[in-house]
């Protein structure tokens, strides 16, 4: 009888999630949370200043969310439930949001009119348009001058740009294509200018440095940036026909990391796509994160196939019903611990995707071995999240939906001009739709979450995430312990 019980216990191992445990406080020499570093790895070659990733959901992360996350030190993963060009355009907008040298500044011909210049300055590629246009010879791309909004104030509508521009003779230009931040700042200070065009040996326009970008780069030291001073951004791809072309287009547009986005990452189709991307001459120099998985075996197989990062989580998300529909999954804390143990032996970072309800859950996920956490529900409802603000029962809300649900797949089918019957008859949804309270801008939310993580790291007697993971000890708790953990025996204001 005892042997049978032992066999049952081995067969039905215990799976724990974040609500089942607490971190045990350790002796700490940290005197201020400011002394704690939250720097971490997203993948083998991508480093972040905070371990927070915006989920690749169409109600969470498009360009506005990605820009906000990168400026705060994290990163956003752009969803794939759109056309290739739409996703690439999102990448362009993130990369154009700020950079040391703009490689494709907006241009205009000298024969254009004031009306054309006004339209050019209102370029939709940036939220508020651009402040200046480079005037070039269309045939040679030779820089002739620059025109700004100030030059147009009193001009006639029919006036030509060539007569309104500030000519190149009065501009401060540089031939240094590798101009540093300090050099650019000194040039602007010395010559009291707000634009420095970068020109080639023949006077052709090759780039532009603007005052607004210099200010952003100087004032914000925590932003996640690439080697060109542009914001980092990731993008999701699938495993079907056409997704290799999608990945190539994203990489060529400037995407910094690709995420293979399927519900069951420990599968032949995911492994095949991963191998294809890592062997492709266009994509192989970009890190590829694969998932989702929930076991050590899954981690080992994806790493063997070339994964630069892993996404962990089968069914823990607030809008995911995979565990109810398919009966499959692993409670998230156990999944993170098992996968991270394998991944860290190979130097591969992990993302804990799903199940984060409170700031304390981030500390638990990181202590369990995750290098970053992916948030969906906590970032949905913000100003930057896609979708309109609605009013329900007198309260402001925004929609959130699972990417394996009917709504997201119907939208995808409509974009791809597929028959609606295919979606309804062939699909078994593993996601739902709902609403979350309107939350305002992302930045204050991220600040609170990172503050909680800094406290969690210090409670573990650590100053860095790796040190936290070495020091962390967990204690299991009962439902009564969970109840005791929150506020109780009071009437909340």
Report the first-to-last Cα separation within the chain, whole angstroms: 55
Answer yes or no: 38 catalytic.
Answer: no
173 is catalytic: no
Decide if 317 contacts 332 (C-beta within 8 A): no
Kindly write down the DSSP assignment for every residue of 373-403, as one continuous string: EEESTTTTTBSSSSS--EEETTEEEEEEE-T
Give yes or no for a contact between 286 and 391, defined as CB atoms under 8 angstroms apart: no
d(C-alpha 233, C-alpha 77), whole Å: 6
3-state helix, strand, coil in the chain (%, to 5): 40, 20, 40
Burial zone of 484 (CB within 10 Å; 0-12 exposed, 13-18 middle, 19+ buried): exposed
Which of 59, 148, 210, 322 is flagged as catalytic? 322
Do residues 23 and 472 lie in contact, with contact meaning Cβ atoms separated by under 8 Å?
A: yes
Backbone φ and ψ for 375, nearest 5 degrees, come out as -115, 135
Structure tokens at 205: 């326009």
Q: Tokens 């394996």, residue?
A: 404
* Rounded Cα distance, 149 and 131, in Å: 7
Are residues 99 and 261 in contact, defined by beta-carbon separation less than 8 angstroms? Answer: no
- What lies within 8 Å, CB to CB, of 117 at 6+ separation is 108, 133, 147, 152, 161, 164
Of residues 42, 74, 78, 72, the one with CA closest to residue 57:
78
Eight-class DSSP state of 24:
P
| Catalytically annotated residue among 255, 320, 339, 460 | 320
**Nearest Cα residue to 99 out of 246, 247, 204, 198:** 198
For 312-315, the CB contacts below 8 A with 24+ separation are 312/336, 312/339, 312/340, 312/350, 312/351, 312/352, 312/353, 312/370, 313/352, 313/353, 313/354, 313/355, 313/374, 314/263, 314/264, 315/354
Helix (H/G/I), strand (E/B), else coil: 478: coil
The strand order across the sheet containing 395-401 reads 390-392, 395-401, 433-437
Distance of CA 150 to the CA centre of its chain: 36
- Catalytic center residues: 320, 322
């Amino acid at each position: 009888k005892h042997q049978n019980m032992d066999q049952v216990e081995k067969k039905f191992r215990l799976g724990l999630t974040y609500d089942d445990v607490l971190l045990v406080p350790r002796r700490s020499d940290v005197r201020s949370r400011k002394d704690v570093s939250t720097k971490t790895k997203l993948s083998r070659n991508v480093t972040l200043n905070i371990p927070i990733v915006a989920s690749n959901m169409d109600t969470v992360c498009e360009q506005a969310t990605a820009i906000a996350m990168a400026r705060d030190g994290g990163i956003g993963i752009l969803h794939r439930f759109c056309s290739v060009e739409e996703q690439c355009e999102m990448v362009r907008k993130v990369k154009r949001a700020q950079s040391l040298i703009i490689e494709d500044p907006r241009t205009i011909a000298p024969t254009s009119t004031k009306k054309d210049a006004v339209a050019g300055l209102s370029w939709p590629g940036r939220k508020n348009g651009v402040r200046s246009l480079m005037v070039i010879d269309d045939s040679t791309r030779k820089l002739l001058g620059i025109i700004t909004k100030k030059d147009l104030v009193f001009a006639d509508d029919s006036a030509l740009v060539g007569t309104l521009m500030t000519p190149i003779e009065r501009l401060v230009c540089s031939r240094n294509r590798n101009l540093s931040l300090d050099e650019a700042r000194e040039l602007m200070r010395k010559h009291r200018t707000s634009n420095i065009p970068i020109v080639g040996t023949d006077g052709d326009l090759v780039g532009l440095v603007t005052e607004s970008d210099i200010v952003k780069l100087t004032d914000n030291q925590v932003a996640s940036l690439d080697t060109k001073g542009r914001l980092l951004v990731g993008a999701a791809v699938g495993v079907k026909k056409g997704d290799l072309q999608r990945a190539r287009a994203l990489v060529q547009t400037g995407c910094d990391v690709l995420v293979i986005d399927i519900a069951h990452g420990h599968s032949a189709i995911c492994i095949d796509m991963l191998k294809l991307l890592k062997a492709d001459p266009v994509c192989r120099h970009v890190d590829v994160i694969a998932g989702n998985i929930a076991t050590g075996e899954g981690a080992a197989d994806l790493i063997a196939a070339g994964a630069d990062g892993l996404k962990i989580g089968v069914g823990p998300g607030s809008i995911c019903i995979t565990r109810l529909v398919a009966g499959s999954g692993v409670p998230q804390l156990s999944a993170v611990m098992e996968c991270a143990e394998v991944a860290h032996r190979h130097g591969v970072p992990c993302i804990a995707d799903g199940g984060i309800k409170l700031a304390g859950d981030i500390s638990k996920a990181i202590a369990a071995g995750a290098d970053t956490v992916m948030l969906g529900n906590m970032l949905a409802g913000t100003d930057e999240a896609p979708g309109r603000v609605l009013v329900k029962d007198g309260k402001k809300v925004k929609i959130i939906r699972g990417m394996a649900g009917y709504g997201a797949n119907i939208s995808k089918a409509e974009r791809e001009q597929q028959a609606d019957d295919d979606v309804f008859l062939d699909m078994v949804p593993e996601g739902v739709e709902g609403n979350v309270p309107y939350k305002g801008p992302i930045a204050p939310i991220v600040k609170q979450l990172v503050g909680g993580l800094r406290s969690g790291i210090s409670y573990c007697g650590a100053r860095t995430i790796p040190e936290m993971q070495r020091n962390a000890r967990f204690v299991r708790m009962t439902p009564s312990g969970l109840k005791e953990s929150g506020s109780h025996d009071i009437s909340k204001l």
